[in-house]
Structure 1
Amino acid sequence: MLALMQESAPEDDMPHAPGPVSRALREAPPDQLVEAADRAVRSALDASRTDVFIADYRISGLWPVLDPELPAAGFLACHTVAQRCFSSQQPVHDVDEQGRCRLYLPLTTWGERLGVLLIELPRAPDAATVQVTVDIAGDLAVALRAADRETDRYRRVRRRERLSMAAEMQWDLLPGRSVTHGAFLLAGQLEPAYTVGGDHFDWSVDGDRLTVTVLNGAGTGLASSVLTAVTVNAMRNARRSGGTLVEQAELASDTIFYQHRGSRNVPTLLLELDTGTGRARAVDAGSPHLMRLRAGVVTRIELEQQLPLGMFADTRYAAQELQVEPGDRLFVVSDGVYAATPDGAEPYGHRSMARAMRSTRLQPAAEAVGTVMRELHAYHAEADLRDDAVVVCLDWRGSAGRDGGWQR
């Protein structure tokens, strides 16, 4: 039997205190978090088994940490249910013929989807125990995300092949891959995941201000990645110093120009959203393409295209105003998505991309970026992408959603 955990099971005598697990995570070395959680969960909940499944860079699969040699049949069964949990972001359980219950819980922090926690219990849990396990999964997700700065263990699980040096830099530079907030949902994805060079996205939320930047990286390989890193950090420097969207663009442009004297430039879209009102400002420096899905219709938002960052000295930029309505979904895509023309086909952005975007209207943002990327791969007949590609999806829920605050 397989089910989402929406109905409470009969009450039982399982302990309902996550304290020992939280304490074990605080005391564990960063590379031993999964083992510490395993011991604490087994003791606190009388569990017979736990495991952690981590999503790979392409978000194409979930891979076990504790039991990497899981037999193929057992892995396939666990992976199928774990994938359902990961996609729905809801606890899911199945019960075998002996009455043992395998409970799958999303490992998510601030909307960043890391993977799934498996807990095998002697019987179906009651509602209070399910809530305890949800809290445990939340604590473990926060600990795993923090541990990435101190250990390579979990990053090794995420990579299914070796990253190029450029891709290594790009993934380290990212803010994350998704964010859930009371007022908005936000997600992004890079491809080709293991060799991406210059395309990139960045974001930050500060009070009622959400800033999103998407870079259409120039060139390929390590040189492209270094140029992107300089650009992103210049914009961050201005933003963290209180600079406006225009000042962020101008500092990045000046930094690039005085490094390369106009021989290199970075087409970039800078977007700032007031999460309370939906008022947005944009600087189109070159740029990636801004698309809006509203009431089932995909429309390109035409902005005044200004010079790419770094093309000339002392370039000055102007911001444009636009209004986002509750329920609007915005996509930002790089040329590697919009202008993809495999085997002489018409550009992906002419018709096929809009169909893919419309098909996401019932999906959350984190699933929507995956759908657009999968359709892009299908458009290439599953061949390797010829150019870097980035997709960012932003849903604004409207001011009524703000009271929900941050969600984990």
Structure 2
Amino acid sequence: MLDASTGVSRALREAPPDRVVEAAGRAIRSALCATNTVVFVADYRINGLWPVLDSRQPEAGAEVDQSVLQRCFSSQRPVQETDDRGRCRLYLPVSVWGERLGVLMVELPDVPGDEVVRRAADIAGEVALALRAADRETDRYRRARRRERLSMAAELQWELLPGRSVSHDTFHLAGQLEPAYTVGGDHFDWSLDDDRLTATVLNGDGIGLAAALLTAVTVNAMRNARRSGGSLVEQAELASDTVYYQHRGHRHVATVLLELDCVTGRVRAVDAGSPHVIRLRGTAVSRVPLEQQLPLGMFAETRYDLQEFELEPGDRLFVVSDGVWAADPSGREGYGERAMARAMRATRLQPPPEAVGTVMRELQAFHADADLRDDAVMVCLDWRGSAGREEA
């Protein structure tokens, strides 16, 4: 048998990017004596998990219970199903760096022992890493993720994202855009460097493609400053000047920039206009008191002040755009008045990727499942504290 840690990795590295799934299947069948394998990926709304099918064999892997896939995906733990003949289906989370991509199903001739399950889980991690890298070189996995056609604006927004989740010894971060297939100007971005997490949430002015283009310029201006070693303030000021000199104050981007010190839990912030920062501490939900400054791009050479606040181990931060906070279908009170806090409290035992889904589903229910009138972006950050890191 192939050694799981070398043979599968080699097969994935040598495979063309659009054939990673097939290479993984061949290697897994050899390494684990499996009879079949299927890779499922989560869609943009994270409403389901869908097989990455070979176009030459469209029927392969289509008959799988979504509830079992969702159980594996949500718990991030292996799940087993055994039929009356003793054959087993093993479901494994396909995740890397905290990013949940999907589920790997492995069919085995009999019930696996703990060592086989461990090896299979390691292989699923290798598959996740390969898929993450291959995604830049082929459209195949993007096609599997979309259940309907993306608008041009949404295509830009999803391509601009760093991912949907990232994990670290001291924090776990996740975000979601809605409406997933037509989102315009709302966006989030993050980067982890030298025990410092920088996260931004943006609410671009306008709708559709114009809003998406405005947000893309703003995000890349902040990235340019950040990658050149610029501080949080310098990131905000470069982005503001860039937007202003493009639009002369007629367009602007409401933004909050956060920088978390992963060792101390101290957060530096620049609040440029809108997205709301909400803290869940125990069962208490409260807004983090930040002084709102001018949105990016309103005036030439706007200067921004830095603010700071502390996180305690176990704290959860939600950052939400006005599309979440101020949603008021049918003239009722805004979602942020009371309903949002109830939804946030309900997520206490869920990890951030599940938490953003819960609050977004409650937002959809608040709209009686009608399409959202406005773009909505949500980011959830759990601060674990540095003690767990020291023990690891």
Partner-residue secondary structure (3-state), 1:267: strand
Contact 1:291 1:298 in 2 (8 A): yes
Counterpart residue number, 1:10: none
The one-letter amino acid paired with 2:379 is V
* Distance in 2 separating the partners of 1:39 and 1:307: 56
Identity of aligned residues (%): 73
The one-letter amino acid paired with 2:304 is Y
Contact 1:278 1:324 in 2 (8 A): yes
1:262-307 CA distance string (max 9 Å, x none):
0000000001110110111111100200000001110011211100
The one-letter amino acid paired with 2:349 is L
The one-letter amino acid paired with 1:69 is E
Contact 2:51 2:61 in 1 (8 A): no
Contact 1:182 1:404 in 2 (8 A): no
The one-letter amino acid paired with 1:319 is L
| Structure 1 residues 135-150: aligned runs within 5 Å | 135-150=122-137
Question: Structure 1 residue 34: deviation in Å?
Answer: 0.6
The one-letter amino acid paired with 2:82 is V
Give ranges in structure 1 of 5+ residues lacking alignment. Answer: 1-13
Question: Structure 1 residue 46: deviation in Å?
Answer: 1.2
Counterpart residue number, 1:126: 113
| Structure 1 residues 345-360: aligned runs within 5 Å | 345-360=332-347
Counterpart residue number, 2:175: 188
1:146-194 CA distance string (max 9 Å, x none):
1111100000000000000000000000000001110000000000000
Contact 1:200 1:216 in 2 (8 A): yes
Counterpart residue number, 2:307: 320
Contact 2:2 2:27 in 1 (8 A): no
Contact 1:15 1:129 in 2 (8 A): no
1:280 aligns with 2:270: no
Counterpart pick for 1:221 among 198, 204, 208:
208
Partner-residue secondary structure (3-state), 2:204: coil
| Structure 1 residues 18-97: aligned runs within 5 Å | 18-66=5-53, 68-69=58-59, 74-75=63-64, 77=65, 79-97=66-84
Counterpart pick for 2:320 among 316, 323, 333:
333
1:355-401 CA distance string (max 9 Å, x none):
00000000001100000000000000000000000010000000112
Partner-residue secondary structure (3-state), 1:270: strand
1:16-41 CA distance string (max 9 Å, x none):
63422111111110000111111111
* Distance in 1 separating the partners of 2:115 and 2:61: 33
Contact 1:95 1:124 in 2 (8 A): yes
Partner-residue secondary structure (3-state), 2:199: strand
Counterpart residue number, 1:3: none
The one-letter amino acid paired with 1:90 is R
Question: Structure 1 residue 68: deviation in Å?
Answer: 4.8
Counterpart pick for 1:394 among 339, 362, 381:
381
Give the TM-score, by structure 2 length: 0.97
The one-letter amino acid paired with 1:138 is G
| Structure 1 residues 237-276: aligned runs within 5 Å | 237-276=224-263
| Structure 1 residues 166-185: aligned runs within 5 Å | 166-185=153-172
1:366 aligns with 2:356: no
Partner-residue secondary structure (3-state), 1:216: strand
* Distance in 2 separating the partners of 1:113 and 1:404: 25
* Distance in 2 separating the partners of 1:289 and 1:38: 45
* Distance in 2 separating the partners of 1:370 and 1:194: 16
* Distance in 1 separating the partners of 2:207 and 2:103: 34
User: Structure 1's 54 and 287: CA in aligned 2 closer, same or farther, altered over 3 A?
Assistant: same
1:301-356 CA distance string (max 9 Å, x none):
12111000000000000011101111000000000000000001100000000000
Partner-residue secondary structure (3-state), 2:264: coil
Give ranges in structure 2 of 5+ residues lacking alignment. Answer: none
User: Structure 1's 273 and 85: CA in aligned 2 closer, same or farther, altered over 3 A?
Assistant: same
Question: Structure 1 residue 402: deviation in Å?
Answer: 2.4
Partner-residue secondary structure (3-state), 1:32: helix
Question: Structure 1 residue 404: deviation in Å?
Answer: 7.2
1:107 aligns with 2:97: no
Partner-residue secondary structure (3-state), 2:253: coil
User: Structure 1's 283 and 71: CA in aligned 2 closer, same or farther, altered over 3 A?
Assistant: closer
Question: Structure 1 residue 44: deviation in Å?
Answer: 1.9
* Distance in 1 separating the partners of 2:369 and 2:324: 14
Number of aligned positions between the proteins = 389
Counterpart residue number, 1:5: none
Contact 2:4 2:123 in 1 (8 A): no
Counterpart residue number, 1:291: 278
* Distance in 2 separating the partners of 1:71 and 1:132: 22
Contact 2:185 2:215 in 1 (8 A): yes
Contact 1:294 1:329 in 2 (8 A): yes
Contact 1:16 1:129 in 2 (8 A): no
> Aligned Cα RMSD in Å?
1.3
* Distance in 2 separating the partners of 1:143 and 1:236: 25
* Distance in 1 separating the partners of 2:180 and 2:303: 34
Contact 2:233 2:270 in 1 (8 A): yes
User: Structure 1's 300 and 382: CA in aligned 2 closer, same or farther, altered over 3 A?
Assistant: same
* Distance in 2 separating the partners of 1:280 and 1:68: 49
The one-letter amino acid paired with 1:60 is N
